[in-house]
């Protein structure tokens, strides 16, 4: 009797259960409702369920219902606000705006719904309408430090969230496969023990993993599928830098292959990921083993072999392994998908025309900022469950922005995902519930090897005082200091053009006026150390062959590329740029314009975090003769004559000069300025004696005047002053120290009579 009762109850309950699912799909799913002239009929079921009096509602009732829905709460929280406090702010706005009409709001929201590509007037459509059209709500958005574009991105995130929390029914194929598994692969295709030993079967789980809602490189995926369908030349080489999403693309390709075969009832293709390291190190004769495994697989059906470390196989496997791969590339039943970066392709494949011919190449570019944001949004849901730390939209926005700025030599979306994971783990270890910008900046600082902590008040004061600091250390060159300070202020506040270096300058002027000294001072003051200056003598790049010193060769990258990759935050000094070959100059014009350089092997080096200073003594003879004939001439007249001379002589083209942020003309030093230079040089000697030997060196004023007068040269500037100080001070000081037992803590005074 009890058994019969259970059966009868099940028969009664089951139709009700099915009807419930039907209603849920209709009201809460994504099915497009029938067209109706009534906007209220398009309200999502989630909002209607929150309304107490659905026949007559006020604007307050409507908005309370919107915020209390699951999607509304999600949107509000990602704006960085708590729903309860957000509602209080809304009520205050409504008190000041009694003219807001629910019917008009719904009418506007219906138009918004269509623009957003939604099927119903849901929380997102209503909130977006209010924030876009009503001034009070716009102010609320600005208080949250968000733009209308940010809100649109949050609405997209809410759609991903809806997909993420949507559970498949227990009777679905996905759930059954995860629970009970599928038919044994060996039953279907035969046994391939050798190949199974050194591969992971991707096709065994790719379908029940499900399709990603965020997919980048979709055009490349379509192209890859067309290549795999060809009867010949159907082997694929996927090329791209680390982090661009090559492995994810391969997973999506595998999913598409399996999905197509299932829908069209095609023969089953096994998709295997080759464990290259185990093949090369764990097998006595990898070539023999691979040959036997592939032969057996060839007779067992259709295979796609994914070789993530194909560069390792080609470089370490020997000629026999390469020969075996090339043999099976020609076969119909076995297809290869190899993955490698750009440099590996140029060095290992392109250099071998025979091997290069057998592969169809697919180059994967870096994802855009919008694509990267979408990837982070989808990734966040999984990581929040694992790490138990919350991530807001503003945190994701900061990751995308800061990773682009400070991890320029890495690629989207990989670098952003890596920062997200590390920042969440950092927040958890600190006991914080939310990821904040300080967590993100700390991780970026570690990965980028530079301090990118938030700009504090002391940092702002330092930047504001930079003008004063540079004027103290750079004598007589007001225009140069002003140009540099303006550029650095823009860079610190991130107001410069993002696709160009922080600042680019051409310093023109005679020798000894402080062009190189300015670069050294700037490296110390802005980048923290003189070690962060990369100096290139352009005399070494005067021939056409020297271009390889900039763009590299097949054997590897260049000195400049390596240095900038290792020190992305640096000052680059191009000494005597007029000596460089025109082809070398053209390469630097590309860097000035685009902020990056692609070398011979296709490797991109980013120069956006550098300051580039080119110096030139162009027109030095003209300067010498002009100053002799026009003593006491003003700076403006000198600048005009020098610029005219440079253009007339064809030393630099107008196009070249226009590529720099500023062309700064350095002037010959006056006697007063030369005296200040002498004081600075003597101060350096005094400080060095104190720091290294503990000796207090004192130089009397008449000694300084004598040195300044003797060392002054309008033609050779500070260089002549430096020679004078070496002859009159340093050499005699060295003799005195050697002939006298001067001990730490003693005073040494240099007087005028000591120099006679």
What's the pLDDT at 140?
86
The answer as to whether 374 is a domain residue is yes
What's the pLDDT at 4?
67
Identify the DSSP state of 43: B
Spatial separation of the C-alpha atoms in residues 566 and 347, rounded to whole Å? 21
Q: How far is CA 538 from CA 282, 542, 614, in A?
A: 51, 7, 10
The answer as to whether 191 is a domain residue is yes
Same domain for 440 and 483: no
The answer as to whether 15 is a domain residue is no
- What's the pLDDT band for 460 if we cut at 50, 70, 90? low
The answer as to whether 603 is a domain residue is yes
Flag whether pLDDT at 18 surpasses 70. no
**pLDDT, greater one: 428 or 311:** 428
Flag whether pLDDT at 163 surpasses 80. no
Task: Name the nearest CA neighbour of 564 among 533, 520, 586.
Answer: 533
pLDDT, tens digit, for every residue of 388-423? 999 989 999 999 999 988 888 889 999 999 999 999
What's the pLDDT at 389?
92
Give the domain-ending residue among 404, 420, 450: 450
Same domain for 569 and 707: no
- What's the pLDDT band for 455 if we cut at 50, 70, 90? low
Same domain for 429 and 474: no
154 touches 78 (CB < 8 A): yes
Q: How many CB atoms lie within 10 A of CB 228?
A: 18
The answer as to whether 698 is a domain residue is yes
3-state secondary structure 273-291: EECHHHHHHHCCCHHHHHH
Calculate mean pLDDT across residues 547-560: 67
676-692 burial, b for 16+ CB within 10 Å, e for fewer? ebbbbbbeebbeebeee
Q: Of the ranges 222-226, 604-608, 744-748, which one carries the lowest mean pLDDT score?
A: 744-748
pLDDT, tens digit, for every residue of 477-524? 887 788 778 877 776 666 667 788 888 998 888 778 888 888 988 888
Spatial separation of the C-alpha atoms in residues 581 and 589, rounded to whole Å? 13
Give the domain-ending residue among 321, 340, 363: 363
Query: Sign of dihedral through CA atoms 635, 638, 640, 643?
Result: negative
Spatial separation of the C-alpha atoms in residues 419 and 417, rounded to whole Å? 5
129 touches 100 (CB < 8 A): no
Same domain for 641 and 597: yes
Spatial separation of the C-alpha atoms in residues 693 and 716, rounded to whole Å? 32
**pLDDT, greater one: 202 or 217:** 217
Segments forming the whole domain that contains residue 304? 182-363
Residue 612: beta bridge partners?
504, 572
Where are any strands of DSSP class E within 497-545?
A: 503-508, 533-537
Same domain for 248 and 186: yes
145 touches 394 (CB < 8 A): yes
Structure tokens belonging to residue 478: 């007001």
Q: How far is CA 83 from CA 142, 158, 251, in A?
A: 17, 15, 39
Calculate mean pLDDT across residues 87-96: 87
Flag whether pLDDT at 563 surpasses 90. no
Structure tokens belonging to residue 444: 């970026």
Spatial separation of the C-alpha atoms in residues 389 and 396, rounded to whole Å? 13
Here the CATH number for the domain that contains residue 46 is 1.10.1780
Spatial separation of the C-alpha atoms in residues 262 and 258, rounded to whole Å? 6
Flag whether pLDDT at 37 surpasses 50. no
What's the pLDDT at 395?
92
Token pair 């030369």: residue = 674
Spatial separation of the C-alpha atoms in residues 577 and 536, rounded to whole Å? 9
- What's the pLDDT band for 284 if we cut at 50, 70, 90? low
The answer as to whether 23 is a domain residue is no
Give the domain-ending residue among 363, 390, 408: 363
Same domain for 381 and 502: no
What's the pLDDT at 186?
44
What's the pLDDT at 414?
93
Task: Name the nearest CA neighbour of 127 among 163, 164, 78.
Answer: 78
Same domain for 196 and 343: yes
Task: Name the nearest CA neighbour of 66 among 127, 131, 117.
Answer: 127
Flag whether pLDDT at 533 surpasses 90. yes
Spatial separation of the C-alpha atoms in residues 423 and 502, rounded to whole Å? 27
Taking the CA of residue 336 as centre, how many other CA atoms within 13 Å lie in the half-sphere pointing to its CB?
A: 26
Spatial separation of the C-alpha atoms in residues 680 and 667, rounded to whole Å? 18
Same domain for 466 and 340: no
The answer as to whether 591 is a domain residue is yes
Same domain for 518 and 650: yes
Structure tokens belonging to residue 182: 């599928």
Taking the CA of residue 221 as centre, how many other CA atoms within 13 Å lie in the half-sphere pointing to its CB?
A: 17
Report the phi/psi class of residue 451: left, alpha or beta, with left for phi > 0 and alpha for psi in -120 to 50.
beta
Same domain for 373 and 358: no
Could you tell me what percent of the chain has a pLDDT over 90? 12
CA torsion 47-51-57-60 (nearest 10°) is -80
Identify the DSSP state of 563: H
Spatial separation of the C-alpha atoms in residues 639 and 617, rounded to whole Å? 14
Q: Torsions phi, psi of 590, nearest 5? A: -65, -40
Element (H, E) at 613: strand 611-616
Same domain for 470 and 444: no
Here the CATH number for the domain that contains residue 242 is 3.40.50.300
ω before 193 within 30° of 0 (cis)? no
Same domain for 359 and 233: yes
Here the CATH number for the domain that contains residue 707 is 1.10.8.60
pLDDT, tens digit, for every residue of 165-216? 665 454 444 444 444 344 444 444 444 566 777 778 877 666 555 556 677 8
The answer as to whether 21 is a domain residue is no
pLDDT, tens digit, for every residue of 622-674? 776 776 777 666 667 777 787 788 888 888 888 888 888 888 888 777 777 77
pLDDT, tens digit, for every residue of 371-381? 999 999 989 98
Q: Of the ranges 73-87, 222-236, 566-580, 617-631, which one carries the lowest mean pLDDT score?
A: 617-631
Q: How many domains does the chain have?
A: 5
Could you tell me what percent of the chain has a pLDDT over 70? 79
Average pLDDT value over all residues in the chain: 78
């Amino acid at each position: 009797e009890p058994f019969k009762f259970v059966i009868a109850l099940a028969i009664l309950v089951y139709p009700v259960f099915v009807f419930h699912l039907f209603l849920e799909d209709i009201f809460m799913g994504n099915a497009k409702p029938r067209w109706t002239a009534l906007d209220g009929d398009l309200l999502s079921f989630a909002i209607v369920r929150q309304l107490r009096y659905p026949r007559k509602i006020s604007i307050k009732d409507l908005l309370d219902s919107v915020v209390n829905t699951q999607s509304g709460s999600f949107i509000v929280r990602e704006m960085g606000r708590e729903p309860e406090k957000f509602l209080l702010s809304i009520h205050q706005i409504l008190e000041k705006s009694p003219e807001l009409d629910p019917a008009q709001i719904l009418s506007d929201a219906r138009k918004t719904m269509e623009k957003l590509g939604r099927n119903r007037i849901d929380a997102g459509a209503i909130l977006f309408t209010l924030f876009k059209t009503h001034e009070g709500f716009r102010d609320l958005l600005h208080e949250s430090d968000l733009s209308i574009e940010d809100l649109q991105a949050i609405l997209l995130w809410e759609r991903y969230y809806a997909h993420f929390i949507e559970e498949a029914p227990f009777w679905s194929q996905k759930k059954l496969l995860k629970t009970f598994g599928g038919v044994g692969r060996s039953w279907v295709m035969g046994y391939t023990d050798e190949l199974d030993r050194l591969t992971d079967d991707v096709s065994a789980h790719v379908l029940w993993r499900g399709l990603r809602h965020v997919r980048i490189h979709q055009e490349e995926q379509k192209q890859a599928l067309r290549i795999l369908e060809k009867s010949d030349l159907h082997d694929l080489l996927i090329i791209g830098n680390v982090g661009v999403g090559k492995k994810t693309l391969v997973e999506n390709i595998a999913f598409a292959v399996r999905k197509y075969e299932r829908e069209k009832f095609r023969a089953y293709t096994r998709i295997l990921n080759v464990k290259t390291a185990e093949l090369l190190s764990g097998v006595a004769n990898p070539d023999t083993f691979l040959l036997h495994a592939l032969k057996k697989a060839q007779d067992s059906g259709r295979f796609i072999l994914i070789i993530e470390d194909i560069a390792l196989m080609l470089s370490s496997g020997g000629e026999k392994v390469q020969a075996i791969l090339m043999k099976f590339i020609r076969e119909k039943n076995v297809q290869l998908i190899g993955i490698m970066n750009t440099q590996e392709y140029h060095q290992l494949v392109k250099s071998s025309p025979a091997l290069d011919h057998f592969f169809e190449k697919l180059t994967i570019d870096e994802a855009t900022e919008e694509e990267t944001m979408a990837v982070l949004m989808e990734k966040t849901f999984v990581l929040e469950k694992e790490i138990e730390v919350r991530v807001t939209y503003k945190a994701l926005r900061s990751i995308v922005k800061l990773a682009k700025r400070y991890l320029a030599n890495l690629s989207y979306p990989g670098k952003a995902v890596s920062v997200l994971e590390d920042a969440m783990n950092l927040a958890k270890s600190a006991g914080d519930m939310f990821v904040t910008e300080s967590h993100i900046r700390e991780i970026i600082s570690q990965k980028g090897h530079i301090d990118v902590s938030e700009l504090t008040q002391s940092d702002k004061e330092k930047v504001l005082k930079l003008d004063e600091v540079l004027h103290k250390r750079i004598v007589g060159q007001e225009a140069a200091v002003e140009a540099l300070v303006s550029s650095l202020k823009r860079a610190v506040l991130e107001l410069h053009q993002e696709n160009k270096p922080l600042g680019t300058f051409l310093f023109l002027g005679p020798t000894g006026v402080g062009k190189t000294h300015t670069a050294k001072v700037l490296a110390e003051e802005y980048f923290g150390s003189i070690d962060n200056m990369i100096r290139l003598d352009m005399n070494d790049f005067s021939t056409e062959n020297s271009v390889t010193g900039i763009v590299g060769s097949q054997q590897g990258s260049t000195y400049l590329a390596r240095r900038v990759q290792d020190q992305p935050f640096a000052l680059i000094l191009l000494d005597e740029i007029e000596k460089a070959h025109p082809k070398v100059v053209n390469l630097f014009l590309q860097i000035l314009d685009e902020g990056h350089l692609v070398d011979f092997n296709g490797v991109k080096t980013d120069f956006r975090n550098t300051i580039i200073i080119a110096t030139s003594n162009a027109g030095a003879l003209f300067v010498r003769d002009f100053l002799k004939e026009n003593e006491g001439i003003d700076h403006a007249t000198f600048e005009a004559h020098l610029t005219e001379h440079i253009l007339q002589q064809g030393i630099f083209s107008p196009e070249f000069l226009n590529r720099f942020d500023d062309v700064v003309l350095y002037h010959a030093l006056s006697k007063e300025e030369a005296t200040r230079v002498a004081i600075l040089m003597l101060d350096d000697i005094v400080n060095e004696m104190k720091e290294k030997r503990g000796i207090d060196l004192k130089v009397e004023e008449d000694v300084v005047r004598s040195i300044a007068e003797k060392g002054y040269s309008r033609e050779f500037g500070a260089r002549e002053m430096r020679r004078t100080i070496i002859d009159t001070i340093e050499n005699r000081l060295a003799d005195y120290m050697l002939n006298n037992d001067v001990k730490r803590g003693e005073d040494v005074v240099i007087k005028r009579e000591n120099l006679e």
